Structure 1
Amino acid sequence: MEDKPWLSLYPNEIPKTILYEEKPVCAYLTESAKLYPKKKALYFLGKEMTFEELYESALKLANYFKKLGVQKGDRIAIMLPNTPQSVIGFYGALYAGAIAVQTNPLYTERELAYQMKDAGAKVILTADFLYPRVAKVLKATDLEHIIVTTIKDYLPFPKNVLYPFIQRKEQGIVVNIQHEGNTSLLKTILRDERAEPIELAFDFEKDTAILQYTGGTTGVPKGVMLTHKNLVANAMMCDAWMYKAKKGQEIVLGVLPFFHVYGMTTVLLLSVMQGYKMILMPKFNAEEMLKTIEKQRPTLFPGAPTIYIGLLNHPDIQQYDLSSIEACISGSAPLPVEVQQRFEEVTGGKLVEGYGLSESSPVTHANFVWENRVKGSIGVPWPDTDSMILSLEDGTPLPPREIGELVVKGPQVMKGYWNRPEETAQVLQNGWLRTGDLAYMDEEGYFYIVDRKKDIIIAGGYNIYPREIEEVLYEHPAVQEVAVIGVPHPYRGETVKAYIVLKDHQQVTNEELDQFTRKYLAAYKVPRIYEFRDELPKTAVGKILRRTLIEEEKNAIERDEKQI
């Protein structure tokens, strides 16, 4: 207890340790389909699907994967927004013994090609409006098969009839794809295949279930290998933390994207494991969310600060009944105290801050939902999770209130990085995960994040890696030097700022740089601010000092605040 002072804070209802069931992630869908066959598992824009229907669809797709030659351990990419097809695809891949590679639908061709090549994905499940992008990178990857679906297949009448017109208006195209060659239609697969169970031997501790792509201090995206044990453990910890939630009865608002590990664990996995109904939302729209909350009455609402801020800033929020919401854990970025307080006033539910990383499936810490909560703290470690602060100088454990690097250990910590043993060894040491975040612990056992040792920018809940943006800007013929940092933003938390040094006799405008970067980067990574300089701060050996630029921004903000 002396080493883990936070355990004395646990209420009686939360266990200090959990007995984890040694079975694959997909086994929980099998169980829920038996326990709640006719219960609604999914709600999507007016149409619902039962657990039995979800289970049978996932099995049909798994059998088709096997026909395509998918073997245990092969990688299957899923490039979809939150839709019934994304859930079917995820569990279908796991039933086939494959490793699921969740892929951001916002990725450009460049980003998509990199991820597919790095993962060695054999099959990709995607939407018709994303098909042209996937088709263009096919030859540059190991992809052998594309399975295509359309949103309208899971829409109720008359939305399914109107969808092509809406698609043409919003995306400018309607793609007509045939079930032939290396391209298959999910609708045809689910019509023709049989829902035959597939017998496979799983190693609970060693078998990788998903590759969750993240970025490191080098800015190169890496595949985090999360095992069945990692994911099952974190979902069970989440269930233990939300101890007032009733099995088979809760309704979860699923706006967090499933290609983000936080959405995958706290919405997708937890809901299927506990027999909860998921309300799938393919994108964030404040008005649509307010209407959905009022009509569908969700009780659990995992989210990110920008989502809660977006709802609170809607001018008509008072006109909606949000009283069904009972508990929310906010992740992905720091949660402002005023946002927490106002959201609780509006809904009557509880909103608390948590902490995690892709490398830990993701949650390691959270505030108590119904007990004492500490403002500005990420809370305490979850059951079976150990945590301490290490000195930046010699790596020794630090006493309370001293700032150092936060390290964590537990059954949710990753197996390692995909095909990157050296980088794995840098962050995983004797089972301890080095987070790269600067933090301290108080005397009671509450943890506080002070700063990020890494240069990651967190904007709108997304992790953005400066080097990736810098490499794109360096390709512009007018750019000589560039440095990218995150600067404070009232809505996104941080936004991307690029410092540019131009080549002699070259000129370029903000608008031209904006158009250039949008060709190669997802919209949320594109710099919002450009500053042109004659030179950038550097070390003696010529390395650009991002940290100096960050300090300059911080000092400028402080000067402005004093003048106000």
Structure 2
Amino acid sequence: MDSARPWLHHYESEVASTYEYPRHNLAYFLVQAAGKNPQLPALYFMGKKIKYGQLMEACYRFANGLRQLGVKKGERVAIMLPNCPQSVIAYYGALLAGAVVVQTNPLYMERELEHQLLDSGAVAIVTLDLLYRRVGAVMPRTHLRHVIVSSLKDYLPFPKNMLYPIKAKRDGADLSVPWSESVRSFRTLLASSSAIPVMEEVNAAEDVALLQYTGGTTGLSKGVMLTHMNLIANTLQTKHWFHKAADGQEIYLAALPFFHVFGMTVLMNQAVVRSGMMVLVPKFEVSEILSLISKLRPTVFPGAPTMYIALINHPDIREYDLSSINVCISGSAPLPLEVQDRFEELTGGRLIEGYGLTEASPVTHANPIWGRRKIGSIGIPFPDTEAKVVNPATGEEAGIDEIGELIVKGPQVMKGYWNRPHESEAVLKNGWLYTGDMARVDGEGYFSIVDRKKDIIIAGGFNIYPREIEEVLFEHPSVKEAVVIGIPDPYRGETVKAFVIVREGENLTEEELNTWCRDRLAAFKVPRRYEFRTQLPKTMVGKVLRRRLLEEELEQISAAKE
């Protein structure tokens, strides 16, 4: 028994401690699935099914279409889509063409979108007519040569495809697109491109497959370089952890967005490597999810705690049959015990907590699914993954149950940050990734997160970086000072609160600030609460004491309960 890795003792007998990871293009997983199971359903979208053979053809057409447009190996292709067939086609099609995928949140406002496109140097973007205005507005200030525009109706069954534009217009959506040489139709591009198989040869260990943007406590969004090998390894590590899953038989409820690395690995790549069917959910709506579970009988449902909380608190939950669900892995935020218990009682399936971060593709730890799990723990390291807790000051390994910084090493750990060598060096040392998360490990090798990176707010599974919101607040001409913290929220885990000092002689209301933020930030980043103050607690050198503000909030919450 390895005394340095006591967790191996708790691996289920079907899970090995090490595996081989093939060195090929990540998209080869789809080529294999379509070759073996062309008639199996790959995607289900709003009543329409797409088989693996059909999906493969569409991906080949998209890859050839990109090449026709002059997109070369290594150039970046952004995808700004919710979960829909186009998001899967664009992802694998871009990889087949040898491009680097840049996933972009469809909720991003112009300011956020412009930074990401400029920083990545993306030459093409795939988006929806519904989102075109934002993309079109920033295009002249970026390196974009092509905007490829689709519509949700393109993959809807009849009569939904006919009704969609009418409903969108009634809802006030602008679906008009000024077509040109640089603004092209996704549908037309596929129709006019060859379906001849194409797959760019890659150096899997070195060539970047994905630039996945993460925030930073500095407020600067950084591109995490994940190679083909990183993503292949994490997909297969996850596959082996889910050892009872059967090829060609699993149905994956794809409610986690694919533009989030958790959804991309544990859902999209996972479903494809298993030849499973993905039930694509473009927007999480509780009643809709419950109906889909009852009707389509999904077996695997990865999610964030807020999703499970919303489901178990639905007033009509008992009217739906959720018994098809076998496995759920929860990530993005801590999973409350009562949520885990209640969800398992309702489904009869297993809901386990895991841990990951964008820089690790993302999963590094999980509780055994059918083996021994520990409540409040993120579980044990994945196969081929090393982890330890170190003293942040000395770098020496901490003792059992001592709190320190969690560091990890494995084939899923990123190559580095895009064009940021100094920041890469700061977190990658001798192959170890310094997560910045404070943790402890017990004598059996089960890890627990004690505190997140110093200032990150995790609301509804989204990482929110205070500095970015503060910069938006500071841009308001009436704001003198602003600081943002995360405060406890029973539903979102945490929610954003802003403390603001208004300039002398100026008047500012909560409504005005809210409008200001909504115009400049994605909805999930906008503060839910504002407090106007005349001063803020600070250190001797003038640094705002966020911890003090949080303590005051917690005291108020505690007093209100008494």
* Fold match (TM-score > 0.5): yes
SS in 2 for 1:195: coil
1:241-252 to 2 correspondences below 5 Å: 241-252=241-252
For residue 62 of structure 1, what is the amino acid of its counterpart? A
* 8 Å Cα contact 1:128/1:177 also seen in 2: no
Q: Which residue of 2 aligns with 1:56?
A: 57
Kindly provide the amino acid, as one letter, of the partner of residue 53 in structure 2: E
- The aligned runs of 1:61-76 (5 Å cut-off) are 61-76=62-77
Which residue in the other structure is 1:447 paired with?
Answer: 447
Distance 2:332 2:170 in 1: 32
Query: What is the letter of the counterpart of residue 212 of structure 1?
Result: Q
Q: Deviations over 1:181-216 (max 9, x none)?
A: 111111111212111222532101001000000012
Q: 1 CA distance for matches of 2:347 and 2:315? A: 16
Contact 1:456/1:466 (<8 A) preserved: yes
What percent of counterpart residues are identical?
56
Post-superposition CA distance 1:468-507 (Å, at most 9, x none): 0000000111110000000000000000000111111212
1:37 corresponds to which residue?
A: 38
Report the CA distance between 1:171 and its aligned residue.
4.1
How far the C-alpha of 1:107 sits from its partner, in A, is 0.4
Moved more, 552-561 or 418-427: 552-561
Read off the aligned partner of 1:76 and give its amino acid letter. Answer: V
1:156 partner amino acid? P
- Displacement of 1:168 in angstroms is 1.4
Do the aligned residues in 2 keep the contact of 1:129 with 1:171 (CA within 8 Å)? no
User: What one-letter code is carried by the residue in structure 1 that aligns with 2:70?
Assistant: G
Taking structure 1 as the reference length, the TM-score comes to 0.98
TM-superposed CA distance for 1:558, in Å, is: 3.5
Report whether the alignment pairs 1:499 with 2:521. Answer: no
Residue 131 in structure 1 maps to residue 132 in structure 2: yes
**What secondary structure does 2:126 align onto?**
strand
1:138-192 Cα offsets, whole Å, 9 max, x none, are 11100010000000010001100100011113343232453x3111111111212
Asked if 1 retains the 8 angstrom alpha-carbon contact of 2:25 and 2:96, the reply is no
Partner secondary structure for residue 142 of structure 1:
coil
Matches within 5 A, 1:328-367: 328-367=328-367
> Does the residue aligned with 1:287 lie in a helix, a strand or coil?
helix
Paired residue secondary structure (1:435) = strand
Listed as ranges, the gaps of 5+ residues in structure 2 are none
Q: Could you tell me which amino acid in structure 1 is paired with residue 100 of structure 2?
A: I
What secondary structure does 1:396 align onto? coil
Matched, 1:542 2:542: yes
- Displacement after TM superposition at 1:430 (Å): 0.6
Quote the Cα distance in structure 1 between the aligned partners of 2:104 and 2:271. 21
Q: For the residues of structure 2 that align with 1:181 and 1:262, how far apart are their CA atoms?
A: 35
Letter in 2 for 1:163: Y
2: distance between equivalents of 1:172 and 1:423? 41
**Which segment drifts farther, 355-364 or 195-204?**
195-204
* Counterpart Cα distance in 2 of 1:486 and 1:397: 30
What does residue 26 of structure 2 align with? 25
Say whether 1:319 aligns with 2:319.
Answer: yes
How far off is 1:544 after superposition? Answer: 1.7
Amino acid at match of 2:135: V
1:61–1:92 CA contact under 8 A, matched in 2: yes
Per-residue deviation, 1:550? 2.1
Cα separation, 2, equivalents of 1:199 and 1:386: 33
Residue type at the aligned position of 2:82: P
Instruction: Report SS of the residue matched to 2:438.
Output: strand
Aligned CA distance change for structure 1 residues 50 and 199 (closer, same or farther; 3 Å):
closer
Residues 80 and 126, structure 2, Cα contact 8 Å, conserved in 1: yes
> What is the CA–CA distance in structure 2 between the aligned matches of 1:86 and 1:300, rounded to whole Å?
20
Shift in Å at residue 452 of structure 1?
1.6
Supply the RMSD in Å over aligned alpha carbons: 1.0
Matched, 1:85 2:86: yes
Partner of 1:205: 205
- Which residue type is aligned with residue 165 of structure 1? I
**Bigger Cα displacement from structure 2, 227-236 vs 198-207:** 198-207
Secondary structure at the residue paired with 1:515? helix
Paired residues in the alignment total 561
Instruction: Report what 1:155 is aligned to.
Output: 156
Q: Is the 8 A contact 2:229 2:411 kept in 1?
A: yes
Q: Secondary structure at the match of 2:171?
A: helix
Say if 2:469 and 2:525, in contact at 8 Å, map to a contact too. yes
Whether the 8 Å CA contact 2:10–2:371 is kept in 1: the answer is no
Runs of 4+ aligned residues of structure 1 deviating over 6 Å after TM superposition are none
